[in-house]
Structure 1
Amino acid sequence: MTPPEAPKDGNAARGDTPPAVSVCASDAQKIEVMAKRRDFLACARPPARKQGTKAMMVQGRNRKDDGGIRMGFTCSKKVGNAVARNRAKRRLREAARMILPTHGRPGWDYVLIGRAIETAQRPFEELKRDLIYALKKIHGQ
């Protein structure tokens, strides 16, 4: 297989091709990652809401401000060694990146807590369904 030929006239940008379009939604909500311990603890204290699923525990709290969505991830040593915990957190992070912009609410903090075995081994589509279910329960839908 040979690479495509470059235009001979040196003018690669002709007016007959459509402009490049971004596939990312411009109105997508900005998701910030929580790093402070006090933010994680605030999601665990009442009046914060909690919902467990097979693959994760989701904690949510309304900050009552106009900020964007914030999320945090954690896995205890029950999940396994550092490699297993990091794999579980990567899967939670990717599921949250895909689901929270559409099902999360601005001004809310969410903490996703991985569970032993299930978070790392559950099929990814089921992991996403679990997150959607938990978010609906947290928001009372």
Structure 2
Amino acid sequence: MKPAVLTRRSDFLAANRGLRVSRPGFVLLARPNDGAGLRFGITVTKRIGNAVVRNRMKRRFRALLRDLLPLHGLADTDHVMIGREGGVERDFALLQAELLAALGRAKDGKGDPPRKGPGKGRGAKR
């Protein structure tokens, strides 16, 4: 089954309250979605680089997720990949191995604790 793509901001914000697994090239967020099926989203901020760099990173992440999620993803879960500095230069096979490890940790329920929402100890809002 082909995973669906997250498009609504509320889905991305909900995923941010879920399980978080950090890797050198990306951060994987995973949160159950109450039976909406296997879904994924990708976020790359302007801090990573210009539009060309961000789009290249998103294309690589999309290819990774389309290859690995149907086999290794968590059922009825939203998966969000957040690009990190240096993720675009990483070897594709290395990113693949890191994503497999991150999905395995998410399946085991192991990960960093969920982050606090905006304005809760991370500085003033702009």
Q: Shorter-normalised TM-score: what interval?
A: 0.7 to 0.9
Output the aligned Cα RMSD.
Answer: 1.1
Aligned to 1:125: 93
SS in 1 for 2:29: strand
Greater radius of gyration (CA): 1
| Separation (CA, whole Å) in 1 of partners of 2:108 and 2:74 | 12
1:95 is the counterpart of 2:50: no
Tell me how far apart the structure 2 counterparts of residues 133 and 105 of structure 1 sit (CA, whole Å): 13
Structure 1 moving runs of 4+ over 6 Å = none
User: Which residue in the other structure is 2:106 paired with?
Assistant: 138
CA distance in 1, matches of 2:67, 2:93: 11
Q: SS state of the match for residue 121, structure 1?
A: coil
Residue 69 of structure 1: CA displacement? 0.7
Once the 2 structures are TM-superposed, how far is the Cα of residue 84 of structure 1 from its aligned partner?
0.6
Aligned to 1:79, the other structure's residue is in SS state coil
TM-score (norm 2): 0.83
Normalised by the length of structure 1, the TM-score is: 0.74
More contact order relative to length (CA 8 Å, sep ≥ 6): 2
Aligned length: 109
Does residue 31 of structure 1 match 2:3?
Answer: yes
1:1-141 pair list within 5 angstroms: 29-45=1-17, 48-65=18-35, 67-117=36-86, 119-140=87-108
> In 2, distance between residues paired with 1:87 and 1:30?
22
**Residues 2, 66 of structure 2: 8 Å contact kept:** no
- Give 5+ residue unaligned stretches, structure 2: 110-126
